[in-house]
Structure 1
Amino acid sequence: MRILHTSDWHLGQHFMGKTRLEEHKAFLHWLVEQVRVQSVDAVLVAGDVFDTGTPPSYARELYNDFIVELQRTGAQLIILGGNHDSVAMLNESRSLLGCLNVQVIPGVLADIEHQVLILNNSVGEPGAVLCAVPFIRAREVLSSESGQSASDKQQSLQQAIADHYQQLFEQAERLSEDHHHTHGRRLPIIGTGHLTTVGASSSDSVREIYIGTLDAFPANAFPPLDYLALGHIHRPQKVGGHEHMRYCGSPIALSFDEVGQQKEVLLVDVDESGLRAITSLAVPIFQSLARVKGNLAELAIAMKAVAAEQISLGQTKNVWLEVTVAEDDYLSDLQPRVEHLADGLALEILLVRRQRSTQQASLTSDARITLSELSPLQVFARRLAGEELAPEREQALQSLYQALLSEREQEA
């Protein structure tokens, strides 16, 4: 059978004051078309359907419209809750959607056997067994114990999650073996998850979930599944080099540091022998994002290049742009200067950064102190130490610093 693996839609996300409604609508329409064209039997959504636990009404409408459209293809739909999703909100329509060939697993269920599902192929025959694991909250699998160290808590939680997977896997193995005895063929076992695994590469838009004190789950703690469909990390990737453990990533760029990533969904073909093939389907770009960096002269050239590329690709929408200003970042009227550079170009500037802001942030990060704990002279000294200056300019600034320090001591 053929399964389509997708995750991290984040319906309802607002990005720098911009709605993603049109992008998400276009993506979901494209996704339904792929299900038809690629003869997909089942669609797995591995968490973070919505961006918040209280999504706006238009996001819920997108969700419902997608389900209606997908049912016309005959494909089965399985939706797993993510850390951004509300268990209560997903659960409220669970019974109703069950009548529409949709299984919703909002969180760890009281009877975990209900998380082991049979996936049917296009002719209605069992094609795989699914261990449907959503985002796991510590309270769902672990009882708090007093006196535990942070390391003990992490180990206990890791073991509890591993045990949860193992229990589901053992139930899935029984179903697979029963089918083998009665029908002469084994059912492959698929798993899901919404968590960070060791070594996974994330992006700025990934809100670190750190389940309890667990920052990353080791890949070798998963049972021997034929395929593991993961969500939460927005960058598509294999886990630990394992072909059968995959993050499909988010379908649209959810932060500027995801610019340039090829977004995708995964077609997964399985049969009684296990995993047969994984094929990535590139998701079209429905809204272009770009980043440029440099001084004002360099930015003028870079912006024109971005706009020209947009025209060459036949895109009609303005590019959403992040601008990082170097060298000229001391100017007080930086924002209007940068916006003036974009006049007449198919660009919309959403964010202007001063390069020095990142340097200033480092003044306090290493020592874990705040600016309120430093005097102006201490801030000046730390900032000066982080600069690479010409010898004569460094000497002049050091002289200024010493003069200010002497004046401060006299006042004291």
Structure 2
Amino acid sequence: MKLIHTADWHLGQSFHGQERHVEHRAFLDWLLDTLVARRADALLVAGDIFDVVNPSLRAQELLYDFIVSAHERLPGLDIVLIAGNHDSGNRIELPAPLMRRLRTHALGRVRWLDDGDLDAERMLVPLSDADGETRAWCLALPFLRPAEVTGASLAREATDEQAPNDYVAGISRVHTQLIEAARARREPGQALVAMSHAHLHGAAVSEASERPIVIGGEESISAALFPDDIAYVALGHLHRAQQVGEARIRYSGSPLPLDFSEVAYPHQVVEVILDGETLVATEALPVPRPVAMHRVGPAPLEQVLAELEALEDDPELSRDRWPWLEVRVELEAPIPDLRARVEAALEGKSLRLLRLERRLPRIEGEDAPARVDLESLGPRKLFERTWADRWGEPPEAEVLADFDRLCQDVLDAEGELTS
């Protein structure tokens, strides 16, 4: 059977204040055509479907229009969606009863039975071939928030070695129980396919665009959680497409660059072919880029202006297809009219300048802190700097862990309030 693995759509993303609905619509149209052309049996979407826990109506419309269109063109297609750390698990599951009528399964949160065991059955999704026969089981594991996998029942089971990191121990427990349930459920010849939204040890992250998935450095998990009888592991969260250790364990990556730092590497979905219980082949299917992205610099101003003049221009493009542009200028001294000079170089060109970064030289012995871009710095680094300025030394690991848990509580509260 044939699967298409994708993740990290981030529908509704605001890109430096600009909407990207045209790009997302173009990607979903391409994906639908690809599913039809490749005669796919199932589509796996490994989390971060939306960019925020409270997505706009237009972003939700993109998703549901796609699901309806996919069912109309491919009535036998199974679609499995899981929530990522950007998603509200409750929101993802809210229309689940309706989506099941369209052969779409949405998993947003894990649940526990009265006896303390994982409710694994609801997370096992049968995947059928063109003849309607179940050929694989998808272990659909949404992003695991600490509150869902830690607590009294876990603490009773944890060893002294596990106790300092209940979160990782809880993740291990969920994986173990879900895999045991899948093994008991499947019949000979049926493959096991795991889908997860997580950060695996050793995987490469993007320069600036991925939000830390949970508390501090505790979020990364081991690929050893996926034993050899799992034929394929479809991962989401990291935007760079990659395999982790083995060809069967893969991040599809985001289909579109979500930051200028992601422009240089390819974006794709992954075609997965199974034969019985075995992975036969994977193929990366490059996603066309509906709107180009240009990153100029960092370089001195004169060189930057020359590069801007040399940028190719297509006057036939509609405005919503004009390329996005980031300009980074290295300065020896402040230039008050820098933006005006950059915009003059772009006069008449079909380009949209989204970000202009000024890089001033560091002066040895300078006591004043360098200016920073708060958007790229993020709350954790800002907290570390503020603490160090106040107390004269960086915060200890325990302080950072408390801060990270507080941030996680805020994110979880947002999800509850908006779902």
| Fold shared by both chains (TM-score > 0.5) | yes
Q: Does 1:246 align with 2:256?
A: no
- Identify which of structures 1 and 2 has the higher relative contact order when contacts are C-alpha pairs closer than 8 Å and 6+ apart: 2
Aligned to 1:280: 284
- Distance in 2, matches of 1:98 and 1:291, equals 43
Map of 2:193 onto structure 1: 190
Deviation track 1:7-35 (CA, whole Å, cap 9, x = no partner) reads 00011111011101000011111111100
1:300 matched residue in structure 2? 305
1:156 Cα deviation from its structure 2 partner: 2.8
Q: Distance in 1 between matches of 2:324 and 2:66?
A: 26
Give the alignment partner of residue 114 of structure 1, picking from 122, 146, 171. Answer: 122
Q: What does residue 261 of structure 1 align with?
A: 265
Amino acid at match of 1:57: L
Structure 1 segments (4+ residues) deviating >3 Å? 151-155, 314-317, 364-374
Alpha-carbon distance change, 79 to 357 in structure 1, aligned in 2, over 3 angstroms? farther
Whether contact under 8 Å (2:192, 2:277) holds in the other structure is: no
Instruction: Name which of 153, 161, 176 aligns with 2:171.
Output: 161
Whole-Å separation in 2 of the counterparts to 1:284 and 1:345: 23
Is 2:149 aligned against 1:141?
yes
Deviation at 1:296, TM superposition (A): 1.9
Contact 1:154 1:213 in 2 (8 A): no
Any idea what SS the aligned residue of 1:243 has?
A: strand
Work out which of the two has the higher radius of gyration on C-alpha atoms and give 1 or 2. 1
Indicate if the aligned counterparts of 2:93 and 2:108 stay in contact, CA closer than 8 A. Answer: yes
Distance 1:348 1:2, change over 3 A: same
Q: Which deviations, in whole Å up to 9, do the C-alpha atoms of 1:366-399 show, x marking residues without a partner?
A: 995449959xxxxxxxxxxxxxxxxxxxxxxxxx
Q: Is contact 2:90-2:109 (8 Å) kept?
A: no
Q: Does 1:10 align with 2:10?
A: yes
State the one-letter code of the partner of 1:206. E
Single out whichever of 206-215 and 190-199 deviates more from structure 2.
Answer: 206-215
Checking the alignment, whether the CA contact within 8 Å between 1:166 and 1:223 is kept in structure 2 is no
Equivalent runs, 1:341-360 vs 2, <5 Å: 341-356=345-360, 360=370
Q: By how many angstroms is 1:304 displaced? A: 2.7
1:401: which partner in 2?
none
Q: Could you tell me the percent identity over the aligned residues?
A: 33
Tell me the TM-score normalized by structure 1. Answer: 0.81
Distance 2:134 2:382 in 1: 56
- Aligned residue pair count: 360
Residue deviations 1:194-235 (CA, integer Å, cap 9, x gap)? 011111112222111125862311112323311000000011
Change (3 A) 1:67 1:368: closer
Q: Quick one: distance in 1 between partners of 2:257 and 2:163?
A: 34
Shift of 1:332: 2.0
Which residue matches 1:123?
A: 131
Q: Which of 268, 271, 281 does residue 275 from structure 2 map onto? A: 271
Root-mean-square deviation (CA), in Å?
A: 2.8
1:175 and 2:180 equivalent? no
What's the secondary structure of 2:238's corresponding residue? coil
Change (3 A) 1:320 1:171: same
Specify the SS of the correspondent of 2:102. Answer: coil
Is it true that 1:229 corresponds to 2:234 in the alignment?
A: yes
Amino acid at match of 1:160: G
- CA distance in 2 between counterparts of 1:79 and 1:66 reads 13
Whole-Å separation in 2 of the counterparts to 1:154 and 1:32? 46
Which one of the candidate residues 290, 294, 319 is aligned to 1:290? 294
Cα distance in 2 for residues equivalent to 1:39 and 1:320: 34
Runs (5+) with no aligned partner, structure 1: 181-185, 375-412
- Matched to 1:163, the amino acid is R
Counterparts of 1:14 and 1:361, CA distance in 2: 24
Q: Distance in 1 between the 2:214 and 2:344 partners?
A: 42
2:214 pairs with 1:220 = no
Alpha-carbon distance change, 69 to 369 in structure 1, aligned in 2, over 3 angstroms: closer
TM-score scaled by length of structure 2: 0.80
In the alignment, the residues of structure 2 paired with residue 368 and residue 211 of structure 1 have an alpha-carbon distance, to the nearest angstrom, of 15
CA distance in 2, matches of 1:19, 1:62: 13
Q: Is the 8 A contact 1:162 1:222 kept in 2?
A: no
Kindly state the Cα deviation for residue 139 of structure 1 after the two structures are TM-superposed.
1.4
- Residues 58-115 of structure 1 show CA distances to partners (whole Å, capped at 9, x for unaligned) of 0111111001011021211001011111122112101111121111101113422210
CA distance in 2, matches of 1:121, 1:187: 11
* TM alignment of 1:15-54, pairs within 5 A: 15-54=15-54
Offset, 1:273: 4.2
